Copies of this chain bind each other. A is one copy, B any other.
Amino acid sequence: MVTMADVARRAGVSKATVSRAISQPEIVDAETRALVQAAITQLDYRPNEIARGLANRSSKTIGIIINRFDSLYYGSLLDGAEKAIAALGFKMLAESTRERAEGEREAWSSLLERQCEAVVVHCDSLDDAELANWMHERPKSVLMNRYLAAFEDRCIHLDNRRGGALAAKFLHAKGHRNIAMVTGPSKFYVVRDRSAGFTETLLDRGVTPTVIESDFLVQGGYDAVITLLEKEPSITGIFFQNDEMAAGAIEACRERGIIVPDDLSMIGFDDIPVAQHLMPKLTTIRQPLRDIGAAAGCLAHALATGVTDTSDIQRVFEAEVVERASVMEVK
């Protein structure tokens, strides 16, 4: 490894001068600077960011904890976050938990040990108490797509309750009165919120939805719709808490000769790219994942650099209905 000392020797100056020539070129004599530059290129010297971070007590890194990489949900969040963080001159360090509580703790420790100056947390397995502990101990941490009232201004999230309400209103407005909902695993924060918003809204309108818990997977949606139609054949509209489950349900219906949306209407959640290529094209609730990731990255950066006024960073994002062809008006 070629170090600063090598460059200094080669250029016939001291290490200090090399350091200055790199970090503050203006305060070093033009002639000397050229000498140093030449030595750097000749030796193909690359500053050691690790050592530099140690000396500066700054890593210029923002950590981010997610469940997994192979999902467009997390991929979009990461994409938004990385773009924002990079634009601010920082690096993003992502760690996945594989949806295990232990994985979440490991990721947290790992990111802190690697001196991340702030960390963005997307955790589903840990309970509120432990998470609150984290947020309390590390004031430079941001919660993504989860809400803790005590740390309200460090939470960046979709208003899932309103998202659920949106689905309810949409189905109700289209005339549906026999309505069901297929949820994801209730351990997920977003599931509980979407469910609450959906159910409340319908109850307000005098409709009691049938609820069935599933697993966010295609097969789960497939099975759920079958169970549902056996139990409650009068149902005309179903809200699936993600698009994958809706896709499975559409398949199940096709195989059974049930026509969507003529016989049964469906609305999903997320607006994954598939949604618009299903047959019929899926009406769904879209969430601005990229924006959420970017906001979380910005807030983390602000906390890391000691910016106090973060009022320009949006904390709560709204979902919107994307109307396609899977919900039909009933009379």
Interface residues of A (CB under 8 A from B): 1, 44, 46-51, 53-54, 57, 59, 68-72, 74-76, 78-79, 82-83, 91, 93-96, 98, 109-110, 112-115, 137, 218, 244, 247-248, 250-251, 254, 273-274, 276-279, 290
**Is A49 a contact of B251 with CB atoms below 8 Å?**
no
**Is B75 a contact of A79 with CB atoms below 8 Å?**
no
CB distance from A146 to the nearest CB of B (A): 20
**Is A78 a contact of B70 with CB atoms below 8 Å?**
yes
**Is A75 a contact of B82 with CB atoms below 8 Å?**
no
**Is B277 a contact of A49 with CB atoms below 8 Å?**
no
- Sample 5 A-B pairs with CB under 8 A, ordered by A number: A47-B113, A50-B53, A70-B78, A82-B96, A247-B277
* Interface residue from B48, B83, B218, B248 paired with A113 (Cβ < 8 Å): B48
CB distance from A15 to the nearest CB of B (A): 16
Cα–Cα distance between A54 and B50 once the two chains are bound (Å):
7
* Interface residue from B44, B76, B93, B274 paired with A93 (Cβ < 8 Å): B93
- CB-based closest 9 A-B pairs: A279-B279, A69-B78, A70-B79, A70-B75, A274-B274, A49-B113, A247-B277, A69-B79, A49-B114
**Is A69 a contact of B82 with CB atoms below 8 Å?**
yes
Cα–Cα distance between A13 and B87 once the two chains are bound (Å):
45
**Is A68 a contact of B79 with CB atoms below 8 Å?**
yes
Task: List 11 other contacts, CB 8 Å, given A48-B113, A68-B75.
Answer: A48-B54, A49-B115, A68-B79, A69-B82, A71-B72, A72-B75, A75-B75, A94-B94, A244-B273, A254-B279, A278-B279
CB distance from A225 to the nearest CB of B (A): 14
Cα–Cα distance between A93 and B116 once the two chains are bound (Å):
13
Residues of B within 8 A of A96 (CB): 79, 82
Residues of B within 8 A of A276 (CB): 218
CB distance from A83 to the nearest CB of B (A): 8
Q: In the complex, which residue of chain B has the Cβ closest to the Cβ of A279?
A: B279
**Is A115 a contact of B50 with CB atoms below 8 Å?**
yes
Residues of B within 8 A of A251 (CB): 277
Cα–Cα distance between A47 and B114 once the two chains are bound (Å):
9
Cα–Cα distance between A82 and B74 once the two chains are bound (Å):
15
Residues of B within 8 A of A218 (CB): 273, 276-277
